Amino acid sequence: MFRLGREPLRLREASGRKSFCQRAFQSIASAAVDTRVNPPVRNDHNLAGQSPRMDSKATIGELRALVAKFVGERDWEKYHRPNDLAMALSIEAAELLELFLWEQDKGGAMEERLAEKAKEELADVMIYCLGFANAQGWDLSEAVEAKIRKNEKKYPADKYRGIARLG
């Protein structure tokens, strides 16, 4: 119903090299995962310390339907082209990152004011992820599961436990 794109999203440049955004994201993700740089902290903002019922209010499908309803009521489907959604998603992710610009990482829980702003920006990112999946007709659960399986092969736990890179 929301499928407007005709071409699959190209994540690599024609030359086969990773794009600037891929390299930047990989660098950020590596730093965030590297436990030597950012040791894990158990607190109420860490999934390890959360109740198993957290995020059990709605399924991904229900959230997708909520986003689709919001978009449909405003007749915005026509604007949900892959390039526009990818840019909007990137911009919202940058707004989340901007909250931490020049902030001193104190570890542990964020201050309440910062946490509320971060939750709003994270929700915007999630809304665009769900909207992108809706517009393309993709099964997001299937895509995440497939990507995790691929990453499990690419980054075996016995080689990557506690480090972001080898060598």
pLDDT at 53: 63
Q: Dihedral angle at the C-alpha atoms of 129, 132, 137, 138, nearest 10 degrees? A: -40
pLDDT at 41: 40
Nearest to 165 by CA among 2, 6, 36, 19: 36
Query: For 33-50, b where at least 16 C-beta lie within 10 A, e where not — what string?
Result: eeeeeeeeeeeeeeeeee
Whole-angstrom Cα distance, residue 32 to residue 15?
28
pLDDT (tens digit, 9 = 90+) per residue, 88-105? 999 999 999 999 888 777
pLDDT at 37: 40
Is 152 a member of any domain?
A: yes
CATH of the domain at 100: 1.10.287.1080
Residue 106 structural domain: 60-167
The residue whose two tokens read 């209010």 is 57
pLDDT at 110: 86
pTM: 0.65
Nearest to 18 by CA among 31, 27, 7: 27
Is 21 a member of any domain?
A: no
pLDDT at 108: 76
Top-confidence residue, 37 or 68: 68
pLDDT at 8: 37
Return contacts of 21-30, CB within 8 angstroms, 24+ apart: 21/90, 28/97, 29/164, 30/164, 30/165
Mean pLDDT, residues 108-125: 93
Is 84 a member of any domain?
A: yes
pLDDT (tens digit, 9 = 90+) per residue, 18-62? 544 444 444 444 444 443 344 444 344 455 556 666 777 899 999
